[in-house]
Amino acid sequence: MFIRFIFLTLLLTANTANAALNVLACEPEWASLTQELTGDLARVTSATTARQDPHHIEARPSLIARARNADLLVCTGAELEIGWLPLLQRESGNARIQPGRAGYFAAADQVRLLEKSGVSDRAQGDVHPGGNPHVHADPRNLLKVASALAQRLTELDAANAAVYAARNQDFQKRMAAAIARWEKEAVGLRGVPVVVQHKSWSYLAGWLGLKVVADLEPKPGIEPSVSSLASLLDRLKSQPAKLILRTAYHSPKPSEWLSERAGIPALELPYTVGGSAAAKDLFGLFDDTLAKLKGALK
């Protein structure tokens, strides 16, 4: 009887392990969100880290191997990963994660995108004609993405539909409460003029009411030169700013160059999960972002 009990326990454990979904997220924010919704029901990894520019990574053999075994690929979309994701999908040979299949999920498809130009001209820099892809920088977008992602998880793993629904409901409640708290804490940030490095902060600025007066990059994705920075420095004399914002993966040199000469604090914000010691999850990401912004203005 005891031996039969042990056998059944091992069998159930094995079945549970086999039932877990393999999820590959393109960026840390989506890995964190997926983990919120799946708990122990999925093995979740991220293709990139907070210190890597998600526009430009290499689809190495080890990453292709992870994509080959993925049940679900969760990415930003809106051409953020256009330089490497199609190659990853093709080389993986995994039919489940191809565009249009249930195993491919694009977060940007679930929200309203800012800065739609409709112009696909690489001479203008790293442009995204369908809209700005950095949607996670506004936490309100996470609520919409989470609900859509929970539904997709249910399609792939109907046996655990109730779990995904319950975890999404819990996430919605906690995130909505956190957003209300963050917005109350950030009242003093409304109208603060800032310089940004890349359009990574459009959604954050729109949410908090920050006023973006200039971009360090002369064109999106183009590293600023000394001459372009000097021109920007001159422009700031008539249109001053109070902060210079960059991500954890951008070089600090351009913002520090401008900071020293303009007397404006240069601030590295985590941008995504793992971008700072405090940004351990999506809640820590925005806690730390607001703390850094408010601290720099004191």
Number of domains in the chain: 2
State whether 261 and 286 are in the same domain. Answer: yes
Q: Check if the beta carbon of residue 245 is closer than 8 Å to that of residue 290.
A: no
Residue 151 phi, psi dihedral angles, 5° rounding: -65, -40
Give the residue, 119 or 31, on which the prediction is more confident.
31
State whether 7 and 95 are in the same domain. Answer: yes
- Between CA 171 and CA 143 the distance in angstroms is 8
Range of the domain at 149: 2-181
Strand arrangement of the beta sheet that strand 72-75 belongs to: 42-46, 21-25, 72-75, 104-106
Lowest mean pLDDT among 73-77, 221-225, 256-260, 286-290: 221-225
The closest alpha carbon to 272, from 163, 90, 108, 137, belongs to 137
Among 158, 181, 204, the domain-final residue is: 181
Rounded to an integer, the average pLDDT of 222-240 is 95
pLDDT tens sequence across 243-270: 999 999 999 999 999 999 999 999 999 9
State whether 89 and 71 are in the same domain. Answer: yes
Only one residue has tokens 């489940």, namely 96
How buried is residue 145: exposed, middle or buried, by Cβ count under 10 Å (0-12/13-18/19+)?
Answer: buried
Residue 58 has pLDDT above 90, yes or no: yes
State whether 223 and 131 are in the same domain. Answer: no
State whether 140 and 197 are in the same domain. Answer: no
Among 163, 181, 199, the domain-final residue is: 181
Whole-model pTM? 0.91
State whether 166 and 192 are in the same domain. Answer: no
State whether 46 and 150 are in the same domain. Answer: yes
Among 131, 150, 181, the domain-final residue is: 181
Residue 122 has pLDDT above 60, yes or no: no
State whether 177 and 203 are in the same domain. Answer: no
CATH of the domain at 109: 3.40.50.1980
State whether 238 and 158 are in the same domain. Answer: no
Rounded to an integer, the average pLDDT of 123-142 is 84
4 contact partners, CB below 8 Å, separation of at least 6: none
pLDDT score for 10? 39
State whether 118 and 218 are in the same domain. Answer: no
Rounded to an integer, the average pLDDT of 147-164 is 98
Q: How confident is the model at residue 117 (pLDDT cuts 50, 70, 90)?
A: confident
State whether 162 and 193 are in the same domain. Answer: no
Residue 140 has pLDDT above 80, yes or no: yes
The closest alpha carbon to 34, from 47, 19, 20, 24, belongs to 24
pLDDT tens sequence across 282-293: 999 999 999 999
pLDDT score for 173? 98
pLDDT tens sequence across 202-216: 999 999 999 999 999
- Between CA 59 and CA 47 the distance in angstroms is 9
Lowest mean pLDDT among 11-25, 106-120, 125-139, 204-218: 11-25
State whether 8 and 109 are in the same domain. Answer: yes
